[in-house]
Amino acid sequence: MSRRALVTGASRGIGRAIALELAAAGFELALNSRAESEAALETLKLVEATGAKARTLYFDIADRAQTLAALEQDLAANGPYWAVVCNAGVNEDAAFPALTGEAWDRVVHTNLDGFYNVLRPLVMPMVQARSGGRIVTLSSISGITGNRGQVNYSASKAGIIGATKALAQELAKRAITVNCVAPGLIETDMTAALPQELIVDRIPLRRFGKPEEVSAVVGFLVSERASYVTGQVISVNGGMA
Do the bridges between strand 28-33 and strand 54-58 make them parallel or antiparallel, or are there none, so unpaired?
parallel
Question: Based on C-alpha coordinates, what's the Rg of the chain?
Answer: 17
CB of 205 closer than 8 Å to CB of 162: no
Reply yes or no on whether 153 is catalytic. yes
Q: Which of 143, 213, 228, 106 is nearest to 179 (CA)?
A: 228
Those residues with Cβ within 8 angstroms of residue 67's Cβ, 6 or more apart along the chain or in another chain: 59, 60, 61, 114, 117, 118, 121
- Which is the catalytic residue, given 58, 81, 116, 153? 153
Residue 241: Cβ-neighbour burial (10 angstroms; 0-12, 13-18, 19+):
exposed
The set of catalytic residues is 153
